[in-house]
Structure 1
Amino acid sequence: MVSSQSSQSTQTPSETELILLSGASRGALLEKIAALQSFCAKHPHDSLGDLAFTLATQETPSEMRLTLVASSVADLEKKLTRASERLQDSNCRQIRDVQGIYFFENPLGREGQVAALFPGEGAPYLGMIGDLPSHFPEVAQVISQCDEMTRSGGQAQLSRFLSVPEEADQRSQLEQELGGLGNTMFSVLMVDWALHDLFRSLGITPDAVAGHSAGELAALWVSGSLVGQLELEELRQTMDFLDTDEQSADSESVLLAVGASRESMQELLVEVSTEFGYAADASPLFLAMDNCPHQTVLIGPPEAMAKVAEVLRERKTMHERLPFNRPYHTPLFEPQMGPMARMFDRMQFQVPKIPLYSCTTGRPFPHEPDAIRELAMSHWIRRVEFSQMIRNMHDDGVRIFLELGPRGNLTSFVSDILRGREFLAVSADVQRHSGLTQLHHVLGQLFAQHVPMQPAALYRHRELKTIAWNSKMLAPVPL
């Protein structure tokens, strides 16, 4: 959708910095840690940004890697001490401290593949990606171009959803607007692509891609399967039409997100279908999404779904009614597929340039353009098989799953699906961190896992200087 390279300088203050250290052996890494501890003790008021910049541009990555996310020189010194204490224990094989300390003795990036995952509807929230547009012109340009698309269509700017108003009434109004089908689809794809452009600018390219629900549109584009640019304004208009059609419909569907396995929920739907006299091959109750072992999404008519909810309450099974009634990923949505089908008919498809997995079949997309179109379109009336897709990707060699989109739901799903196996799942955006701080945490883990990247590119929009923290500094890495 949007590609950009910019040399524009940004001087927005950074609340955290990413510190990268490495050594040929654990002993060499411990020596680096000791040298940096000594520097921090002697220079407590030096710029943490200059230090981070120096380490990213002057140090050549080697075998043993430690990364830290720090808010100050004092914070860095404390984390270096904790890391040193743990690494001096030869039994320590990895450190994954959520405060920002990362080390992996057997990194997955040496041989394992990296997959990019793109979330869809249900992921957007007010304030998503936070301060990233102010730090990275690549991100700001994507947002600006999407705003221009909405302006040309006579709509309000999507960027209004990237901040959280202080006034409760304003927040409530924006949340209601974000819930509209056109806005939620357009905004999640905008953020998906903005994050993709950002990570690509940092030298991180996935070996495979996949999307969840509407996120599959982003995956189709990123893989090169969708020719040219996806017309987001046309997508927004299509979704707005569906939203209006849904609101005027005589009947509605109820959607429940349930904290239970696919198998148990399929049994429950059979029980309720039998009680309501539905024929086995004509029941309007569907398991629409198999997200992970502990989350499924059920869809059906209000009366029968009320019975489903009653049974779930009796069994003390966690569940939540979702705030919309669109029967996506079931045959119930087929009567509303007209606008979607016309949109897909106008798209041009080709063989993906990198492996593209289908969230419908759980397998890679076919290599025939017409078959790609048919499968992508049928995704909207067929079950989301996210669990099976992730298991298949892992079987095919993917070990690192990078979620490029808001909130981090897919990262949680992957962690549940692959529990007990070797993998890393990280999200580029979460609500508990600012955009930049979460970026630092993600890049820190990827670097420590030996994922190829260009750390120096993180600073191409900042005016920083190198500092002599270590007399054994190597030749600079070009920006």
Structure 2
Amino acid sequence: MGKNLQSPVNGKIAFLFPGQGSQYINMAYHMVMHFDAVREIWDKISEIDFGVEERLYNIVFPGYGFNEENKRRQTEKLTRTEWAQPAIGAISISLLNLLNKLGVKADFFGGHSYGEITALYAAGLFDTMEDFIRVSRKKGELMAEAATQEGAMTAVFTSSLEVKKILTESGTDISIANINSPSQTVISGKTSGIERVEKLLTNKGINYKRLPVSTAFHSKIIGKSTEPFYNYLKKIHFNMIENRVFSGSTGNLYPADTEEIRKILAEQIENPVFFQQQIENMYDHGVRIFVEVGPGAVLTGLVSDILKDKKHLSLSLDKKGQDGLISFWNAMGKLSSCGVEISCETLWKEFKEPEHRFAGLVGRDTEIEIKKTEKKVRYSVNNGAKFDDERLKTLQILQQNIFEAHKIFQKTLTESHIRFLQASEEALKQIGGIKTAAEISSPENDLIKNYLAEEHYEERKTEDIREKPEDKIYVPSVDYKKIILQTASEKTGYPEEMLDLNMDMEEELGIDSIKKIEILSDLKLRLPDSCKMDTDKLALMRNFREILDYVTEDLSEKKKILS
């Protein structure tokens, strides 16, 4: 989101396309199932043969994993460069096709790392969609082949200047891969070197997060793939395009010469990404609305960080953990509020209005046929008139009787099952001398006990629960709730009054793990008593309520110790 969204944001529109690391299993599947414009792209992509047993859709939408091990293997396979890049590209261009059908057009295009290839596709560089997908696949294959050494990438939540000092101090050959925003810099290199730098970051109290990538992109580790990729690109026909695509390698607009474009794309594999500079240059060209077209919302957060003091709107069409339709229509609503024209009628132009309606018809009768064994019974509904009151009353009584019978059936089934379990346990106890469930404390056993108690109780006595002085909760004078919500509002762009402590950060607010670390890092600076809080524990918490409880509990323990 942007600054001062109470008033509409006017200006040019840019489409931003994400790079590797944004992928996740079943990404945007709600959109694929709901919109023909998205599905038709996947129908074409499913026909592309990569010379292996699986097709791309098998990797992106592998079906339910049933257990954590299967889910881990599915995610691991999608993370491989040769699959991740065409997968992200496929999701991005399918959403792009939907935007085109809705009449939402961009003035400029940009991408993060691999996303630049998608941006060039959106600008018309490739003859066909298949060329784009095959280029994406080839780039991933060559990068995987070149990565003969174990490599990794880590996002560090501080300025690039500070990161440079730390890298020099580490004595490693780790290099800066991405300058993403004023407060996020990504480093890349050998895994052993990355681990050494991470220890140094921990000692300095600087937060970081290891990225879900298969190797060290934008480093010397995959430098060997640059020349083979350039040679492959020479076999692909490039169209002349308008000067509308920004390069992350330079931060500036791509040249018109197709040969120069090939060189930039090939060298980009090893060169660092200057995403912050790219966004700032887009802003200088009049862009005020940034739409992330692809899986996740990482770029949306980065844009908000880069332009936090400038009026703009940054939004994503997809958020991991949130229903894709909700994310998409929220984005369309924000665009519409800024005066962007959206032709929603194109979504249902192929649907025909039904010739007859059940009710509300004016000036004609509608006949409803109800088949009963071999004969037909006809009821005439004139201008939406109701059925006979007597029949309706009979139907209601019948439904009520069915409902009551079902309740009795469920109750009888439950009681029978409980008695069966109790009899079985008693028999086992007599045979082997083991404890029964009645003697073991467990959530399931407590549930059964509560059920039986509720069935036979006549009157419950309320215990006189008195608060023990030593158990009093320490209430801090600082308004920690307000601090937490204020920090979340500033980091995400959501108005503070929209936030609730019980909101799920990932599923309801679309806050990814990187953005969560940024929020927690800022909280550690703002909360005076939280300097020793365990960031790893905080990162596992799903909502702000858990964070607040953790903070106040920590302070309570400190208060008890002092007293």
Q: What is the TM-score with the length of structure 1 in the denominator?
A: 0.68
Which whole-Å CA distance do the structure 2 matches of 1:369 and 1:267 have between them? 38
**1:398-452 CA distance string (max 9 Å, x none):** 0000000001110011011100101000101112321211111010000000113
Contact 1:209/1:354, CA 8 A, preserved across alignment: no
| Bigger relative CO (Cα 8 Å, ≥ 6 apart) | 1
Q: How much has 1:159 moved relative to structure 2?
A: 5.0
Contact 2:28/2:318, CA 8 A, preserved across alignment: yes
Match of 2:9 among 108, 116, 120: 108
**1:169-202 CA distance string (max 9 Å, x none):** 4322211221121111111000010000000000
Matched, 1:404 2:293: yes
Q: Give the secondary structure class of the aligned counterpart of 2:269.
A: helix
Match of 2:155 among 244, 248, 257: 257
Q: Give the secondary structure class of the aligned counterpart of 2:333.
A: helix
Contact 1:350/1:367, CA 8 A, preserved across alignment: no
Q: How much has 1:370 moved relative to structure 2?
A: 1.5
Distance of aligned partners of 1:125 and 1:391 in 2 relative to their CA distance in 1, 3 Å threshold: same
Contact 2:230/2:263, CA 8 A, preserved across alignment: no
Contact 2:317/2:327, CA 8 A, preserved across alignment: yes
> Which residue in the other structure is 1:232 paired with?
133
Contact 1:224/1:352, CA 8 A, preserved across alignment: yes
Which whole-Å CA distance do the structure 2 matches of 1:389 and 1:199 have between them? 23
Contact 2:167/2:174, CA 8 A, preserved across alignment: yes
Distance of aligned partners of 1:427 and 1:349 in 2 relative to their CA distance in 1, 3 Å threshold: same
Distance of aligned partners of 1:146 and 1:325 in 2 relative to their CA distance in 1, 3 Å threshold: closer
More helix by share: 2
**1:249-291 CA distance string (max 9 Å, x none):** 2x33332211111111011112223xx6xxxxxxx32101011
Which whole-Å CA distance do the structure 1 matches of 2:73 and 2:151 have between them? 25
**1:304-337 CA distance string (max 9 Å, x none):** 4333111100122111223445332234432232
Structure number with greater Rg is: 2
Contact 1:118/1:405, CA 8 A, preserved across alignment: yes
> Which residue in the other structure is 2:311 paired with?
422
Q: How much has 1:140 moved relative to structure 2?
A: 0.7
Which whole-Å CA distance do the structure 2 matches of 1:352 and 1:116 have between them? 16
> Which residue in the other structure is 2:17 paired with?
118
Distance of aligned partners of 1:315 and 1:164 in 2 relative to their CA distance in 1, 3 Å threshold: farther
Task: Please tell me the root mean square deviation across aligned C-alpha atoms, in Å.
Answer: 2.5
> Which residue in the other structure is 1:171 paired with?
71
Contact 2:157/2:207, CA 8 A, preserved across alignment: yes
**1:449-473 CA distance string (max 9 Å, x none):** 01132132243355669x9xxxxxx
Q: Give the secondary structure class of the aligned counterpart of 2:308.
A: coil
Match of 1:453 among 331, 342, 349: 342
Matched, 1:209 2:109: yes
Distance of aligned partners of 1:458 and 1:448 in 2 relative to their CA distance in 1, 3 Å threshold: farther
User: Once the two structures are aligned, what percentage of the paired residues are identical?
Assistant: 25
Which whole-Å CA distance do the structure 2 matches of 1:207 and 1:147 have between them? 30
Distance of aligned partners of 1:319 and 1:308 in 2 relative to their CA distance in 1, 3 Å threshold: same
| 2:187 partner amino acid | L
Which whole-Å CA distance do the structure 2 matches of 1:397 and 1:353 have between them? 17
Contact 1:128/1:163, CA 8 A, preserved across alignment: no
Which whole-Å CA distance do the structure 2 matches of 1:214 and 1:441 have between them? 26
Q: How much has 1:338 moved relative to structure 2?
A: 3.8
Q: How much has 1:237 moved relative to structure 2?
A: 4.6
Q: How much has 1:360 moved relative to structure 2?
A: 0.8
Counting matched residue pairs gives 351
Which whole-Å CA distance do the structure 2 matches of 1:221 and 1:340 have between them? 17
Contact 2:190/2:221, CA 8 A, preserved across alignment: no
Which whole-Å CA distance do the structure 1 matches of 2:59 and 2:151 have between them? 30
> Which residue in the other structure is 1:343 paired with?
232
Match of 1:356 among 245, 250, 267: 245
| 2:46 partner amino acid | D
**1:140-187 CA distance string (max 9 Å, x none):** 111121121147654234255247625124322211221121111111
Q: Give the secondary structure class of the aligned counterpart of 2:55.
A: coil
Match of 2:275 among 386, 391, 395: 386
The correspondence of residues 239-388 of structure 1 with structure 2, limited to 5 A, is 239-246=140-147, 249=148, 251-273=149-171, 284-324=173-213, 326-353=215-242, 355-388=244-277
Deviates more, 1:422-431 or 1:253-262: 253-262
Q: What is the TM-score with the length of structure 2 in the denominator?
A: 0.58
Contact 1:164/1:171, CA 8 A, preserved across alignment: no
Which whole-Å CA distance do the structure 2 matches of 1:336 and 1:356 have between them? 24
| 1:269 partner amino acid | L
Distance of aligned partners of 1:165 and 1:290 in 2 relative to their CA distance in 1, 3 Å threshold: same
